[in-house]
Amino acid sequence: MKKLLVCLLAGALLAGTALTAEAAKQIAFGKGKTSASVSGKIKGSDDMDYVLRASAGQTMTVDFKASKGAAYFNVLPPNSTGEAIFVGSNEGNHFKGELPADGDYTIRVYLMGGAKDSDKPVTYTLNVGIPASPKTGGTAKNSGTSVAEKACLAAVAKQSGVSASKLKVIDVMSAEAGIGVTIQVPDATAPWSCQSDKKGKVQGVAFTGSEGNL
């Protein structure tokens, strides 16, 4: 009987946790936008996670404002088990950095000190952006880059069902592993990301926003 009561109590606690825990929220940019603003409320020891898909080499900016000073945010890279590339409690309310890998980045909002102990709600606003990299004017494109762009435009056109003539290249990043091309599709809530080698062999195509908004 004692073991049964312990099991029932543990099950009740787990159920309560599942009911009160908030799922991570996806951040998606609006049509033609490179940034988005989200607001929320947090209290006690709760965390609130926001997820944004991005590509290696892109620059992300995050600005954070809260109704109390002991509210912070961290930026976690793809597949993180808690390790952060930015810790707001040490580094402040502004993040700007070049992203190290492709994948889903998590922005985690949390409380510390008196704000956490008081168990009173704290409101906050996050402004998140991935600015389009400016193109260098007056310089001829590398032939390998041009080939990669054309291949990626064709690949994204096939995946999205939109004519390549209507697509727009908004960023090109060259690296030893290949060439990353970011492409805007009309009416899409976020850009598409494509990886190709200099010979035009596409290695991967992905929509960087929420799949439900395709």
Q: Provide the residue ranges of all domains of the chain, joining segments of one domain with +.
A: 23-129, 143-208
- CA-based torsion, 80, 82, 83, 85: positive or negative: positive
- As assigned by CATH, the class of the 143-208 domain is alpha beta
Residue 109 confidence (pLDDT): 96
Q: Report the share of the chain in percent with pLDDT over 70.
A: 82
Q: For 114-167, what is each residue's pLDDT tens digit?
A: 888 888 899 999 999 998 765 433 333 455 678 889 999 999 999 999 998 888
Domain 23-129 has CATH 1.10.10.10: no
pLDDT surpasses 70 at 213:
no
Q: For 2-50, what is each residue's pLDDT tens digit?
A: 433 333 333 333 333 333 345 789 998 888 889 999 999 999 999 999 9
